[in-house]
Amino acid sequence: MLFQQIASNKRKTTGILILFVIILALVGAGLGFIWGNRPLLGVIIALIFSAIYMLIVLPNPANMVMSLNHAQEIHEQDNPILWHVVQDMALVGKVPMPRVFIINDPSPNAFATGRDPNHSAVAVTQGLLDMMNREELEGVLGHEISHIRNYDILVSTIAAVLVGVISYLSGIASRYIWWIDDDRDSDNDNGNTIVVIFKIVAIIFVLILGPICASLAQMALSRNREYLADASSVELTRNPHGLISALTKIDGSDPMKAADPSSAGMYIEDPLRKRHGLTHLFDSHPPTSDRIKRLEKM
């Protein structure tokens, strides 16, 4: 059951990333079509923007994310218990010891970030340290080490880059949409009508549907990552009860004040406690009750 769930979630992650690239290509094609009937040029520009943004963000995403969330780096002498739990989970997970940070916030939560296991970091809130026993802390940090081991930290960074590029292209289109050269040959009314229809569809997709689809894909990716990390945490600790108890406590806590909204999807549970109705389409995390049910089956 455990390994089947891990394999299934990895396949879903691959599918969502492919969907991301398709959405990006469609937005680029739409932009190119709007501005000169050159969809291929638009796709190339979108991919180039993505590559440049990726080169800017990927060298050291951990420092940026930790700064946004007001996290302070610690060492073994600062908090030996936390340090040794992280060390134990990293040893079991067969990944290098990540850097360790604490966020001065009373709400229990944690996240991992970085670009790969050799350049990773984990952060926990003071509230998590105050509220969790050793078994629960191991469950939470097993979850975060799993994000590192499964390269979820890289996946989430790539997703953030793609969403950022799509939003940027959509913003450009919204500001300069009226600069479109729309001269047409009056002798070809039927052809012009088809072009106008396609341009209207392209405008709607670039300005509205593209960013919405990208956000939905990012949320789906984040939810899938959480299920995968939950299952992987059980693989590391051999104890689902610690993570179940930790998730129950976290779910019943108040929202965080120190969390940066742009990195909310990285936390083990939504630090802002936002929910968007019954569909959960725009939720950054799956319902805690669903996660606990899956864990109980293990």
- Mark whether 296 is an active-site residue: no
Q: Of how many residues is the chain composed?
A: 298
Class of residue 245 by CB neighbours under 10 A (exposed 0-12, middle 13-18, buried 19+):
middle
> First CA to last CA across the chain, in angstroms?
7
Pick from 144, 110, 112, 139: nearest CA to 126? 110
SS3 content of the chain, % helix, strand, coil (to 5): 70, 5, 25
Q: Are strands 120-125 and 99-103 parallel, antiparallel or unpaired?
A: parallel
Distance CA 165, CA 271 (A): 25
Question: What are the counts of helices (DSSP H) followed by strands (DSSP E) for the chain?
Answer: 11, 4
* HEC assignment per residue over 211-230: HHHHHHHHHHHHHHHHHHHH
* HEC assignment per residue over 272-295: CCCCCCCCCCCCCCCCHHHHHHHH
Name the active-site residue from 73, 76, 138, 144.
144
Q: Which residues are catalytic?
A: 144
